[in-house]
Structure 1
Amino acid sequence: MDGSDIVDGTLEASGVLVGAEETDMSEKRPLAADGSDAGSTSNTHKSEKTPARKLGGNFVLALALRRMLKSPAPTLDHIIRFLSSGSGHDKLWMITQYFTKIVVWLYAKRGYKSASERVRILSNLVADYRIMIRLTGLVPMSQFIRYGEQFPAPTPLLQWLNRVMNLSLVCYYPLEHIYWLGAHRIIPLADNLVETSGYWSCRFWAAWVALQFVHLGEEYRVIKNRRQQIFTQGKSDAIKMQQELDAIDAEKRSWNIQLLINACYFPLTLHWSTRGSTFPDVAVGACGTVAALAQAYNVWKATA
C-alpha cells in the first residue's frame, strides 16, 4: 500500500468514527422539525447566552459604580461643607426641632397619640441639644463685637444699633446658660430662678429682634440711596454700572430673606417672653420652620 492509500484509509477511518459517533448521539437526542439537533441548540443557548447576560449586567453595574465613585460629586461636597460649618449643623437641627412640632400636631389631630408623643420627645431633645451647643456662644460673639468695631457700619445709626443689639445678646447668652444648667440640676438653683432666667433671656432676644426691624429699615434706606446714586451719576461705563446694580440687587435679596427671618422670629420671642402665652405650638413650629429654612438657604449659599 502506497502513501496515498494510507491517507485514504485514514480519512475513511476518520469518517466512519465520526459517523458512528453522530449516529450514537442522535439516538439519545430528539431532532428538530428541520432535522437539526434541537437539544444541542437548546443546551448551547443555555450554556452560552444566560451567563453572557449575567456577565453583561454585572459589567454595567460595575461600570456604573466605578463611574459614580471615581467621578466628582460636587453636590455631596457641598452638603459636607454645609454640615461641617457651625451654622449649617445648627440649621439642620433647627429644621428638625420646629418641623417635628408640625408633625406632632398632625399626628395628634389624626388620633395617633403614641406616635405624636414620640415625635414630641424628639423635638424636645433637639431643642435641648441646641441650647447646650450655645454654651460657647459668647466666644464667637466676642469676636463679632471686635469685628464690628474694627469695621464700622456705613451709617452712625447702624453702628449704634449694632452695639445695642450686641449688648442684648451679651445679656441673653448667660441667662440662657443659667436656665439650661439649672433646669438640668447641674448647678443648684431654685425653680423660680431657673424659670425667671429663661424668660429674661428670651426678653433680651426679643429686644434684639425688635431692634433688627429698625436695623433693616436703615439698611433699606442705604440700599435705596446707593441705587439712586448710580443712576444720578450717569457713569459712562455701562458694564461697571450693571455690575454695581447687580450687587445692589443681591443685597436687596439678602435683605428680603433677613426680613422674613425676623418676621418669623418676632412672634416666637414674644411667646417665650410672656408667662402663660397661648400661642399654639403648631404656630411655633410653622414660624420656626420657615425661619430655619431661610437661614439654611443663606448658609447653603455661603458654603457654595
Structure 2
Amino acid sequence: MTMATTYKPLTAERIEDMTLGAFGNLRPSDTLNHLIRYLSTWSGSDKLFMLIQYGAKVLIPILEARARLQHRAGVRTQPTSSIAPKLAKLASTIGSARSLWGLWGMLPIIQWLIALERAPPPTRRLLTIERTQGWSMLAFFPLQQLSFLRTNDLVPAALHLPTPSGGRPRRVAIHDGAVSLWSTRLWMAYVVLQLAHLREDRALLVKRQRALEKLSVREKLQPPERAELARRWDAWYNELAVNLSYLPMTIHWSLEKGLFGNDIWVSLFGFAAAIASFRSGWKATALPPPPPPAELSEDAPETQILRPYIRVSRHPHLWRMTMSVGTTRLFSFPLLSMAYVYYRVLIREINLMLNFPSNL
C-alpha cells in the first residue's frame, strides 16, 4: 500500500515566499558583513577601486599581446584587442574618480596630526618621522588636487591674486608639470619616511619578541600574547610590501623623464601595492576572534555548561566521603557501596552518551 503524497496548496502567499522571499533560502554571511563594513569606509572603497584600476592596467598589455599572437596564428583577423580599450577607459575613469574623492583627503591628515600630539609614539625619532610625514601630506594634497583640476581644465592656467597695497591684482601662472612633479615628490618623501618608520617599528618588535621569549622561559606564554605578536609582524610585512611597491612608482613620477621606459612596470607595482593595501584594510576591519573558553578546574560545580558541550564532573562530596572511608571499610557498608556503584555506572553512561572519556 503506497502512501499518498500530500502537496501544499499553491496559494498567493506561497508564491510570494518562493519568489519575493527567495533570499530566505540564503544564510547570513560573515564575509558579506565584513565586505560591507570595509567598503563603507572611504579608505576601503578607494583600495577596492585601486585594485580594479591597476588590475585593468595589467590586463591591457596581456590582452594586446594575446591579440597579436592570435593574429599571427591566423585565429584573429585584427591584431588588436577589442576589450583592451574598454579596460583603458575604465582605468582612466577610476583614476579620475579616485583623484576627485581625494578632495577631502586632507581631513584625516589633520585629524592624525592632532591625535599625534596628544598620544605620541614611544620614541622621539618616530615622533619626528610622523610629524614630517604629516606636513608632507598637508602640502601634497593641495598640489595633487590642483594638478587634477588643471588636467581637466577646471581652473584657469593663471590666477589673479590681490596685492597688499590694493592695486592691480598680480597674475600667477600655474605650471602644470611643476605642480604634478612636486606633488609626487612630496608623496615620495612620505614613502621614504614610512620605510624609516618601519625600520624603527622592526626594532621595537624585535625587543618585544625577545622580552616575550625570556618571559616564556620562566613562565608559560599565553596564546593571546603570541597571537598579538604574530599579528603585529604580519602587519609590518604587509606595510613593507605596500611601501616597497609605492617607492619605484613615486620615483618614476618624480622624474621629468621617468624611471621606466614601459608603463607596465608602473602598473605591476601599482597592482602589488593595491593587493597589499586591500589586504591590510581587510584585516584591520575584521572582528576580533572570540575569547577562548575558560579551563575547568577540579573544584568546579557538579555540572558545567560550555555551549554547545556539557561536561559532567565527579561529585565533590561523594568523592571526599569515599576517600575518607577507604576501600576496605567501603565494602563493610553495603548501602554506601551500592550507592557508589550506581553513581559510577551513571557517570560512565552519561559520559559515553556525550562522548567524553570514561575516567572523567
Matched, 1:215 2:197: yes
Counterpart of 2:111 (choices 136, 140, 143) is 143
Q: Which residue of 2 aligns with 1:249?
A: 230
Counterpart of 1:122 (choices 71, 90, 105) is 90
Q: Which residue of 1 aligns with 2:29?
A: 73
Deviations 1:23-57 (A, max 9, x none): xxxxxxxxxxxxxxxxxxxxxxxxx99xx8xx9xx
1:93 Cα deviation after fit: 0.6
Query: Over alpha carbons, which structure has the higher Rg?
Result: 1
Compute the RMSD of aligned alpha carbons: 2.8
Amino acid at match of 1:90: D
Counterpart of 1:101 (choices 51, 57, 61) is 57
Deviations 1:237-283 (A, max 9, x none): 4244x432331221111100000001100110011111122522222
Alpha carbons 2:212, 2:221 under 8 Å: kept: no
Deviations 1:213-236 (A, max 9, x none): 111111100100111122335675
Q: Which residue of 2 aligns with 1:161?
A: 129
Q: Which residue of 2 aligns with 1:301?
A: 283
Q: Which residue of 1 aligns with 2:185?
A: 203
CA distance in 2, matches of 1:75, 1:234: 36
Counterpart of 1:85 (choices 19, 26, 41) is 41
Q: Which residue of 2 aligns with 1:24?
A: none
After alignment, is 184-193 or 199-208 more displaced? 184-193
Alpha carbons 1:172, 1:202 under 8 Å: kept: yes
Amino acid at match of 1:75: T
1:72 Cα deviation after fit: 2.0
Amino acid at match of 2:63: Y
Q: Which residue of 1 aligns with 2:101?
A: 133
CA distance in 1, matches of 2:186, 2:128: 17
In structure 2, the gaps of 5 or more residues are 68-78, 159-172, 287-360
From the superposition, tell whether residues 231 and 172 of structure 1 become closer, same or farther in structure 2 (CA, over 3 Å): same
Matched, 1:289 2:271: yes
Superposition map of 1:3-42 within 5 A: none
Superposition map of 1:227-242 within 5 A: 227-233=209-215, 236-240=218-222, 242=223
Alpha carbons 2:39, 2:45 under 8 Å: kept: yes
Give the TM-score normalised by structure 1. 0.75
Instruction: Report SS of the residue matched to 1:238.
Output: coil
Superposition map of 1:274-285 within 5 A: 274-277=255-258, 279=260, 280-285=262-267
Matched, 1:181 2:137: no
After alignment, is 227-236 or 144-153 more displaced? 227-236
After alignment, is 207-216 or 273-282 more displaced? 273-282
CA distance in 2, matches of 1:114, 1:67: 41
Alpha carbons 2:106, 2:138 under 8 Å: kept: yes
Which structure ranks higher in relative contact order (CA pairs < 8 Å, sequence separation ≥ 6)?
A: 1
From the superposition, tell whether residues 186 and 165 of structure 1 become closer, same or farther in structure 2 (CA, over 3 Å): same
Give the TM-score normalised by structure 2. 0.64
Amino acid at match of 1:65: A
Alpha carbons 2:215, 2:221 under 8 Å: kept: no
Instruction: Report SS of the residue matched to 1:223.
Output: helix
Q: How many percent of aligned residue pairs carry the same amino acid?
A: 29
Alpha carbons 1:227, 1:245 under 8 Å: kept: no
- Equivalences, count: 251
1:114 Cα deviation after fit: 4.0
1:172 Cα deviation after fit: 0.7
In structure 1, the gaps of 5 or more residues are 1-47
More strand per residue: 2
CA distance in 1, matches of 2:32, 2:274: 21
After alignment, is 161-170 or 271-280 more displaced? 271-280
Alpha carbons 1:175, 1:198 under 8 Å: kept: yes
1:74 Cα deviation after fit: 2.0
Amino acid at match of 1:269: T
